[in-house]
Amino acid sequence: MKHKHAGRILGREISQRKALFKTLLGSLVLHERITTTEAKAKEINNFIDRIINKAKAGKMAAPRRVAVIRELRNLLPEVAVKKLFGDFSARFDGRENGYARVVKIGERKSDSAKMAVIEFV
């Protein structure tokens, strides 16, 4: 049984997994749609909700905004953080969660890995 084990390991060590999530999340914010394996898409779907909620909370006061920007720079590339505070804050004002959807698209031909597209709603 897997008690108190959350998230997927994805065959990587912790530092490699953090770097993978940072690039995937940055690509998703910049391109608004990416194709990846189903497990990676499901895993970053949880992270994107938290990131957008933090960005929406950072719109309030200046000290809070600075703290949120510093925190998001650890999770995303700097270009993605700028885009998140620019376009995305107004785009998702009416929503509280469920900002991205995962659509399964079949198997990859080379190794039969289950593939999915993750995109913003």
pLDDT confidence bin for 31, thresholds 50/70/90: very high
Look at residues 67, 9, 76, 103 and name the one whose alpha carbon lies nearest to residue 84.
76
4 occurs within a structural domain = no
pLDDT tops 80 at residue 98: yes
| pLDDT 10s digits, 39-68 | 999 999 999 999 998 888 877 778 888 888
Domain containing residue 52: 14-120
Q: Are 34 and 110 in contact (CB under 8 A)?
A: no
pLDDT at 87 over 90: no
Residue 8 in domain:
no
The count of domains in the chain is 1
pTM for this entry: 0.89
The pLDDT assigned to 6 comes to 84
Per-residue pLDDT band for 21 (boundaries 50, 70, 90) equals very high
| CA dist 44 → 9, 40, 51, 65, 75 (Å) | 12, 6, 10, 23, 11
Q: What are phi and psi of 116, to 5 degrees?
A: -150, 155
The CATH number of whichever domain residue 48 belongs to comes to 3.90.1030.10
Across the range 87-97, mean pLDDT stands at 82
In a domain, 84, yes or no: yes
pLDDT at 95: 87
Establish if 25 belongs to a structural domain.
yes
Residues composing the chain: 121
